[in-house]
């Protein structure tokens, strides 16, 4: 759950950075709506971490700063890329959640319920971004995003 929590911290940062530099008010509204929904995910993960007697990642401030910067840059590149970045990011998050759902104990109903609802919302964010004109990123870009995701998830798991 620490990794999922960190992912939600990063989502807040990405959306805030993207909204700050978005070219249109429509794109800003889409980003802010998604960020609001991500706040629920953040709260759910934090609650579940407490229930599991664990702690959030000590690296969250670093990941927040890096994500905010990436989001701001994506927004500067125009709404098509900005929304495409949302879609690609959320697709990567869903991939992570699917992997995590396969590994979590089948008896951990609370964690499973949280992750399934998060996955449903993340899929919705990706679909909305593409419907609103976001570009589908090419495979090499998605591969690079996957590598960054792996770095974040592996370090956050331990720290």
Q: How does pLDDT run across 47-63, given as a tens digit for each residue?
A: 999 999 999 999 999 99
| Domain coverage including residue 110 | 2-158
> What pLDDT score does 74 carry?
96
Q: How many domains does the chain have?
A: 1
Contact 70, 120 (CB under 8 A): no
Q: How confident is the model at residue 37 (pLDDT cuts 50, 70, 90)?
A: confident
In this structure, the number of other CB atoms found within 10 A of the CB of residue 65 comes to 12
Diameter of the chain by CA atoms? 46
Residue 115 sits at φ, ψ, to 5 deg, of -65, -35
Give the pLDDT mean for 32-57.
93
Per-residue confidence (pLDDT) for residue 157, from 0 to 100:
86
Question: What is the residue-averaged pLDDT of the chain?
Answer: 94
pTM for this prediction: 0.89
- 129: domain CATH number is 1.20.1260
């Amino acid at each position: 759950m620490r990794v999922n929590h960190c992912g939600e911290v990063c989502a807040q940062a990405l959306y805030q950075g993207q909204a700050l530099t978005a070219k249109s008010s429509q794109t800003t509204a889409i980003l802010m709506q998604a960020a609001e929904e991500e706040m629920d995910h953040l709260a759910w993960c934090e609650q579940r971490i407490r229930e599991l007697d664990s702690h959030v990642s000590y690296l969250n401030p670093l990941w927040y700063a890096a994500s905010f910067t990436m989001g701001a840059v994506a927004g500067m590149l125009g709404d098509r890329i900005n929304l495409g970045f949302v879609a690609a990011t959320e697709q990567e998050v869903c991939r992570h959640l699917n992997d995590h759902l396969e590994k979590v104990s089948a008896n951990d109903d609370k964690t499973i319920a949280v992750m399934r609802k998060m996955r449903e919302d993340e899929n919705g964010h990706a679909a909305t971004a593409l419907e609103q004109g976001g570009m589908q990123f090419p495979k090499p870009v998605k591969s690079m995003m996957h590598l960054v995701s792996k770095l974040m998830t592996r370090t956050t798991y331990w720290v």
